[in-house]
Amino acid sequence: MTENEWIPPSATLPERQDRLTPTEYSPQQSTSFETLVIHAGESLEYQPFEPATTPIYASSSFSAESPEALNAIFAGERDGFVYSRNANPTTTAFERAIAALENAQFGRAFGSGMAALHAALLATEIRPGDSILAARDLYGTTRALLTTVFASMNVRVELCAMDDLERVESVTRNARPRLILIEAISNPLLRIADVPGLASIAHAHGARLIVDSTFATPCLCRPLSWGADLVVHSATKYLAGHGDATAGVVATNDPELDAALGLTQRLVGGVLSPFESYLALRGLKTLPLRFARQSETAFALARRLEQHPRVARVLYPGRESHPDYALACRLFGHDKIGGVLSFELRDGDQDRVFDFLRRIRLIRPATTLGDVYSLALYPAMSSHRALSREQRLAAGISDGLIRLSVGLEHLDDLVRDLDQALLPSAPHG
Ligand SMILES: *Cc1c(COP(=O)(O)O)cnc(C)c1O
């Protein structure tokens, strides 16, 4: 078959598909195959229709009904879309959903949790010579962002444990930070931040409070309602929830902070793609169901592991054995505090932990959290490998500590998997 013999079906489109674009263009005037492959089918004449879900608007640019309308959108006088680095309908839908869930006026989505954190830090107008006060046990990459990118901009970074408010107050008084950065629930020890107390301290000293609420989600708390200026999530974790998207969000009620976040989206360009926005928006719909089930299963596993002869210590903020149990119950009003728990193997060292990681069959030995899959992580090897052993031990992260992110598998199957993986090691052959 030669090219000439083959008549492309689109050259003989039935009448109702003839209007290819809203312009004067018509296939009667130009039926060339090259033009048809570009325009055929693109504009359905039986608009408008309402899709039941938000579609993936895989379009980098958008036109408007007139040059005047486009001009008004460019000028910001009218809502609308012109270019997807500035705004994309699928991404905007996800951003609005996040704002609603965080009791915020504004939401912004970024290509990852780190891009969201970076934008949130920049939004506070941090400048050379300023200082940042941050929790000592921040997510490792966040800590590295501060101590490399921001420190090299001549920003002073002060790290401090956030559990003693009097101490935080005195460090704040001395350091006069532009912002305080904390995590609502820390990793991997699941320490709980007293967000209302820390917001009062920050504001009494003219600092902004940024809360990374990745481990808490809006199911547990809305940090803006407790006085935080910006709330950030790695939406890669619970919000998207299925281990298939990398995304970050920032929400705020302050129009100036939001404008600064929008500027970073447009100028730096780390916006969330429409595909990832779609996945995140879709995942979000089941967040309360997932979070409730993951929290119940994690609570039950924590209680069981506390009794296990091979487990020296369990960390779950909903259990009385956790140092922040009372604070957690006061802030959240219950004891089902997320799907992550950590536990320490008795006489645990790297060999014993590796043995455990080799033996788990249902739980996956992988990083990330808040997924539908259960995941086990060895912080000494992954999130905290940049610390020296002494620094790690001082931070409370021992050689035998394992973090478990509980998915949506049945409790009985997870118990069985943990029990078989925790059997005393047989000598390797
Ligand atoms: C994963 C994570 C981040 C980074 O998010 P990415 O989506 O991986 O960029 C930041 N903070 C916390 C608490 C996280 O767990």
DSSP string, 182-240: EESB-TTT-PBP-HHHHHHHHHHTT-EEEEE-TTTHHHH--GGGGT-SEEEEETTTTTT
Q: Determine which helix (DSSP H) or strand (DSSP E) holds 166, and give its type and residue range.
A: helix 165-175
pLDDT at 351 (0 to 100): 95
Q: Which residue's CA is the closest to the ligand 1 atom numbered 6?
A: 113
Residue 402 has pLDDT above 90, yes or no: yes
> 129 and 151 share a domain?
yes
Instruction: List, chain by chain if needed, residues with CB within 6 Å of any ligand 1 atom.
Output: 112-114, 139, 141-142, 183, 187, 212, 214-215, 234, 236-237, 246, 248
Q: Which residue's CA is the closest to the ligand 1 atom numbered 2?
A: 234
Residue 113 Cα to ligand 1 midpoint, Å, equals 5
The preferred substitution site among 181, 214, 342, 405 for testing ligand 1, maximizing ligand atoms within 8 Å of CB, is 214
Atom of ligand 1 nearest to the CA of 115: 9
Per the DSSP assignment, residues forming a β-bridge with 365 are 376
Q: Is 187 within a domain? A: yes
> 22 and 84 share a domain?
no
Domain count for the chain, please give it: 3
| 40-54, 225-239, 387-401 — most confident range | 225-239
Q: Which residue's CA is the closest to the ligand 1 atom numbered 8?
A: 113
Atom of ligand 1 nearest to the CA of 214: 13
Q: Is 69 within a domain? A: no
Count the Cβ atoms, other than its own, within 10 Å of residue 167.
12
Residue 145 Cα to ligand 1 midpoint, Å, equals 12
Q: Which residue's CA is the closest to the ligand 1 atom numbered 5?
A: 113
pLDDT at 387 (0 to 100): 81
Residue 267 Cα to ligand 1 midpoint, Å, equals 22
> 294 and 279 share a domain?
no
d(CA 13, CA 155): 63
pLDDT at 17 (0 to 100): 42
Is the distance from CB of 62 to CB of 91 less than 8 angstroms? no
> 306 and 374 share a domain?
yes
> 122 and 10 share a domain?
no
The preferred substitution site among 98, 114, 239 for testing ligand 1, maximizing ligand atoms within 8 Å of CB, is 114
> 219 and 299 share a domain?
no
Residue 1 Cα to ligand 1 midpoint, Å, equals 55
Residue 80 has pLDDT above 80, yes or no: yes
> 291 and 397 share a domain?
yes
Residue 350 has pLDDT above 80, yes or no: yes
β-bridge pairing 179-183 and 401-405: unpaired
Q: What are phi and psi of 105, to 5 degrees?
A: -80, -30
> 209 and 148 share a domain?
yes
Q: 366, exposed or middle or buried, with CB in 10 Å at 0-12, 13-18, 19+? A: middle
d(CA 185, CA 179): 18
pLDDT digits (tens, 9 = 90+) for 364-380: 999 899 999 999 999 99
Residue 427 Cα to ligand 1 midpoint, Å, equals 38
* 25-34, 237-246, 402-411: range with lowest mean pLDDT: 25-34
Question: How many CA within 13 A on the CB side of residue 255?
Answer: 0
Residue 335 has pLDDT above 70, yes or no: yes
Domain that holds residue 324: 287-421
Per the DSSP assignment, residues forming a β-bridge with 341 are 404
Higher pLDDT, 21 or 159: 159
CA angle 273, 371, 232 (to 5 degrees): 55
Q: Which residue's CA is the closest to the ligand 1 atom numbered 7?
A: 113
* 124-128, 139-143, 202-206, 357-361: range with lowest mean pLDDT: 139-143
d(CA 110, CA 270): 6
> 212 and 343 share a domain?
no
The chain-wide mean pLDDT, for the chain, equals 91
Residue 114 Cα to ligand 1 midpoint, Å, equals 6
Residue 214 sits in a domain whose CATH number is 3.40.640.10
Q: Is 239 within a domain? A: yes
In order of 196, 229, 338, the CA distances from 329 in angstroms are: 14, 24, 13
Residue 290 Cα to ligand 1 midpoint, Å, equals 19
Residue 254 has pLDDT above 70, yes or no: yes
d(CA 306, CA 190): 16
Residue 368 sits in a domain whose CATH number is 3.90.1150.10
Residue 146 Cα to ligand 1 midpoint, Å, equals 14
pLDDT at 307 (0 to 100): 96
Q: Is 56 within a domain? A: no
Both tokens assigned to 289: 């169901």
Residue 181 Cα to ligand 1 midpoint, Å, equals 14
> 207 and 318 share a domain?
no
- Which among 262, 284, 306 is the end of a domain? 284
Smallest Cα–Cα separation from 414: which of 368, 379, 363? 363
The preferred substitution site among 217, 234, 276 for testing ligand 1, maximizing ligand atoms within 8 Å of CB, is 234
Is the distance from CB of 409 to CB of 374 less than 8 angstroms? yes
Q: Determine which helix (DSSP H) or strand (DSSP E) holds 343, and give its type and residue range.
A: strand 340-345
Smallest Cα–Cα separation from 421: which of 379, 376, 371, 366? 376
Q: 346, exposed or middle or buried, with CB in 10 Å at 0-12, 13-18, 19+? A: middle
- Which among 50, 65, 85 is the end of a domain? 50
